[in-house]
């Protein structure tokens, strides 16, 4: 195989070729480094490329595999991670100039887990400052959507979406507090999962909201996403809220057979005028296809879901303000304008409003968990719109603009951060402007296997995952 | 509920000992008033019966 074609392989296919010694980890890593060098100046998906370290890791992997010490499916796979995760000896910025040049002396647990599974770290991916989906200024370059360079690749794991879609890494990690994995996955035509809170360690991850931050993969196929999650998930004594149970073999659920699986269609979020007409039709078609494949389709109502963005924004802005209080006092001018407004607002939030949001969260969670007692998974669009144009200015000019914002993408993804359930986005087609659209699949807490099963069942009867941007 | 005024925003900031530059006050007012209004638009009654406990314990179904 030509070296330049390696980046376009799925992680699953590359893994088999590496295991069979048809491709060496050094060849794969060099192929990705070459492509990053050729393409990323258009995308700004990387903050730091770890060329020498990556090749050094790859040589070790090559040597180990040659001597029969093959670890498993991630061995020799070139990956990239959001710059929110500590990486020993490698700059970690959290998307901010405040942390520019900061080099951690230890790895986040997810990085340790990737390395122990033999993965090769290509570099650190660009992101919205402090993992805030609202940030306007990107100090390390504005990330672009590979499907249309004038458009947003999704926030806040912007680089994870852009790099994975453009085949600048085999698979990637993002972090999702209000939709920051599923948004980029949807806007870039990828598969991304926000696992259950407690499934993946948060240790060594710059926090945004204590009770909603979740690390997960963004990949080009369902199998790749499942493989990557398997590598990073599991109990971690450094994060006391990780679940102390074995991680299932997600791959065993990927049979393609979804006959009899009960799917609940969230009425408030599917057949609604809040959705772009093309998004609505593509998602409805996807649901019909799932039904044709043997799934049992039911309609489910979750009345509070339309208010989830306001509930989520209240809690996250307060949490983030408390987490960044020192920066608000000492480095305010270094923060992005939108983050200044959001974090200062969170600092002065009346306690009554915060407590009201927590009560509403509990009610919403009950509605979602109740719905999940009737079906195996819930489905709805990941976003009401395809990737929007990159904004031209920061700030808001009226209260009405703020209220309008609560009807957008965050009200589609944040319900499941609030409920702490797993939620995955998979591409379910393209608009007439050739922009990807995401179908969101939501499972019961810790039922990631069922979510992957349905996603793979859908992927098996469609070919959206084979489409690539022309970059 | 009436919108919070710019002076009331400044008072809230003083109460928590945080400095807010004057030029940011209008946008913070838009944002906070918008958020408070959105929370009031949920129309949920009897919230008194709900305990505002943070959700940190995984629920396993």
Question: How far away is chain B from the Cα of A347, in angstroms, using its nearest Cα?
Answer: 8
Contact map slice: A 230-289 vs B, CB within 8 A: 241, 243
Please give the ipTM for the structure prediction: 0.94
Nearest chain B alpha carbon to A369? B61
Preferred mutation among B47, B50, B51, B53 to probe A, highest tally of A CBs within 10 A: B50
Q: What digits encode the pLDDT tens for the residues A261-280?
A: 999 999 999 988 889 999 99
Say whether pLDDT at B57 is over 90. Answer: no
Q: Which residues of B touch A363 (CB under 8 A)?
A: 44, 47, 50
- Among the partner-chain residues B24, B33, B51, the one whose CB lies closest to the CB of A344 is B24
pLDDT class for B17, splitting at 50, 70, 90?
Answer: very high
Distance CA A307, CA B40 (A): 10
Write out residues in chain A with pLDDT < 50, as ranges.
none
Number of C-beta neighbours around residue A198 at 10 A: 24
Pairwise CB contact (< 8 Å): A395 & B34: no
**Tokens 């450094």 belong to residue:** A238
Distance CA A93, CA A321 (A): 18
A326 shares contact with chain B (CB less than 8 Å): no
Distance CA B18, CA B12 (A): 9
Q: Which of A4, A2, A121, A118 is nearest to A63 (CA)?
A: A118
| Percent of residues, chain B, with pLDDT higher than 70 | 87
Question: How far away is chain B from the Cα of A355, in angstroms, using its nearest Cα?
Answer: 6
Say whether pLDDT at B58 is over 70. Answer: no
Pairing between β-strand A423-430 and β-strand A436-443 as defined by DSSP bridges: antiparallel
| Percent of residues, chain A, with pLDDT higher than 70 | 100
Residues of A with a catalytic annotation lie at 82, 156, 180
Pairing between β-strand A120-125 and β-strand A191-194 as defined by DSSP bridges: unpaired
Pairing between β-strand A296-300 and β-strand A262-266 as defined by DSSP bridges: parallel
- DSSP, residue by residue, A54-84: HHHHHHHHHHHHHTT----TTTT-EEEEETT
Structure tokens, A193: 């999962």
CB A376 within 8 A of CB A262: yes
Q: Give how far the C-alpha of residue A204 lies from the chain's centroid of Cα atoms, to the nearest Å.
A: 17
Higher pLDDT, B21 or B51: B21
Half-sphere exposure at residue A3, Cβ-oriented, CA atoms within 13 angstroms: 12
Question: How far away is chain A from the Cα of B9, in angstroms, using its nearest Cα?
Answer: 8
Pairwise CB contact (< 8 Å): B24 & A348: no
CB A218 within 8 A of CB A171: yes
Question: How far away is chain B from the Cα of A174, in angstroms, using its nearest Cα?
Answer: 21
pLDDT of amino acid A409 = 79
pLDDT of amino acid B61 = 43
Q: What digits encode the pLDDT tens for the residues A359-379?
A: 999 999 999 999 999 999 999
Higher pLDDT, B55 or A32: A32
- Among the partner-chain residues B20, B35, B41, the one whose CB lies closest to the CB of A344 is B20
Contact map slice: B 34-53 vs A, CB within 8 A: 34-39, 41-42, 44, 47, 50-53
């Amino acid at each position: 195989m030509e070296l330049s074609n390696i980046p376009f392989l799925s992680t699953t296919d590359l893994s088999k070729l590496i295991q069979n010694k048809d491709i060496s980890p050094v060849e794969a890593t060099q192929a990705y480094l070459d492509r990053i060098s050729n393409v990323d100046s258009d995308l700004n998906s990387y903050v730091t490329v770890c060329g020498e370290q990556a090749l050094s890791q790859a040589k070790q992997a090559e040597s180990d595999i040659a001597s029969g010490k093959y670890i498993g499916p991630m061995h020799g796979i070139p990956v990239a991670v959001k710059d929110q995760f500590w990486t020993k000896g490698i700059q970690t910025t959290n998307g901010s100039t405040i942390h520019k040049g900061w080099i951690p002396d230890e790895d986040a647990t997810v990085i340790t887990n990737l390395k122990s599974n033999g993965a090769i770290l290509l570099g650190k991916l660009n992101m919205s400052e402090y993992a805030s989906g609202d940030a306007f200024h990107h100090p390390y370059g504005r990330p672009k959507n590979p499907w249309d360079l004038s458009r947003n690749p999704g926030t806040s794991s912007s680089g994870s979406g852009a790099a994975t879609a453009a085949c600048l890494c085999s698979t990637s990690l993002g972090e999702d507090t209000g939709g920051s994995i599923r948004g980029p996955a949807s806007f870039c035509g990828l598969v991304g999962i926000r696992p259950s809170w407690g499934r993946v360690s948060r240790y060594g991850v710059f926090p945004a909201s204590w009770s909603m931050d979740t690390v997960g993969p963004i990949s080009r196929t369902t199998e790749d996403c499942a493989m990557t999650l398997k590598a990073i998930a599991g109990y971690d004594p450094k994060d006391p809220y990780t679940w102390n149970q074995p991680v299932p073999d997600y791959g065993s659920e990927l049979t393609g057979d979804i006959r009899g699986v009960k799917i609940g269609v969230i009425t408030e979020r599917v057949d609604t005028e809040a959705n772009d007409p093309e998004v609505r039709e593509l998602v409805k078609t996807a649901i019909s296809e799932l039904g044709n494949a043997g799934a049992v389709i039911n309609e489910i109502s979750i009345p509070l879901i339309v208010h989830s963005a306001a509930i989520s924004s209240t809690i996250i802005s307060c949490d983030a303000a408390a987490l960044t209080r020192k920066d608000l006092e000492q480095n305010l001018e270094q923060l992005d304008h939108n983050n200044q407004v959001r974090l200062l607002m969170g600092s002065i939030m009346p306690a009554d409003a915060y407590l009201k949001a927590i009560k509403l969260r509990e009610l919403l969670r009950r509605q979602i968990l109740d719905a999940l007692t009737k079906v195996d998974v819930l489905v709805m669009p990941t976003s009401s719109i395809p990737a929007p144009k990159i904004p031209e200015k920061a700030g808001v000019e009226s209260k009405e603009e703020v209220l309008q914002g609560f009807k957008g993408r965050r009200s589609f993804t944040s319900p499941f951060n609030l409920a702490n359930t797993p939620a995955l986005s998979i591409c379910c087609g393209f608009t007439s402007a050739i922009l990807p659209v995401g179908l969101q699949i939501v499972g019961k807490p810790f039922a990631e296997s069922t979510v992957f099963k349905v996603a793979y069942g859908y992927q098996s009867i469609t070919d959206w995952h084979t489409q690539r941007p022309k970059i | 509920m009436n919108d919070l005024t710019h002076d009331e925003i400044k008072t809230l900031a003083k109460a928590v000992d945080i400095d807010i530059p004057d030029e940011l006050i209008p946008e913070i007012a838009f944002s906070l008033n918008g958020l408070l209004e959105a929370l009031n638009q949920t129309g949920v009654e009897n919230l008194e019966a709900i305990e505002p406990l943070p959700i940190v314990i995984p629920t396993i179904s």
